[in-house]
Amino acid sequence: MNFRPRQKEEPEINLIPFIDVLLVILIFLMLSTTYSKFTELQLRLPVADVQAQRDYPKEVLVSVDAEGGYTVNRQPVTGRSVGELASAVQAAANVGKDSVLIIYADAAARHQSVITVMEAARQAGLSKITFATQSGATAGAQ
């Protein structure tokens, strides 16, 4: 008979298979998750609630129509390049560099057309730029 006490082995938990299973589950969840896409958002940007409109004494009004045409202080600009628009803005802002550029962009105007106006304002030395919008009540009536 063998009366020697047996050495009791400490039970071990092997974590490597556990980690492998968790990584497989994580990869599965990452691949099967659907993310909402930015292109699925319905945006209507040109509408804002205006509490009080400011009256700027030295303002330059630049309008952008839906086809990408520009007018500066209600005078049409013949070209559509940044240089031609910058010279028209510079001529309209002859009162000083502290003039405020107000962009009236059509809701259907291309984003690049508005960026062109902003680049022309930068080249003309104007740093104060604001956007004209219509109130939500006015937009609903149209």
b/e 82-119 (16+ beta carbons within 10 angstroms → b): beebbbbbbebbeeeeebbbbbbbbeebeeebbebbbe
Judge if pTM exceeds 0.85. no
Confidence of residue 25 (pLDDT cuts 50, 70, 90): very high
Higher pLDDT, 58 or 62: 62
In the chain, what are the domain boundaries? 59-141
Query: Which one-letter DSSP state was computed for residue 70?
Result: E
Higher pLDDT, 95 or 101: 101
Higher pLDDT, 39 or 118: 118
Percent residues over pLDDT 90 in the chain: 7
Specify the CATH number of the domain 59-141: 3.30.420.270
- Position 101 scores a pLDDT of 84
Confidence of residue 96 (pLDDT cuts 50, 70, 90): low
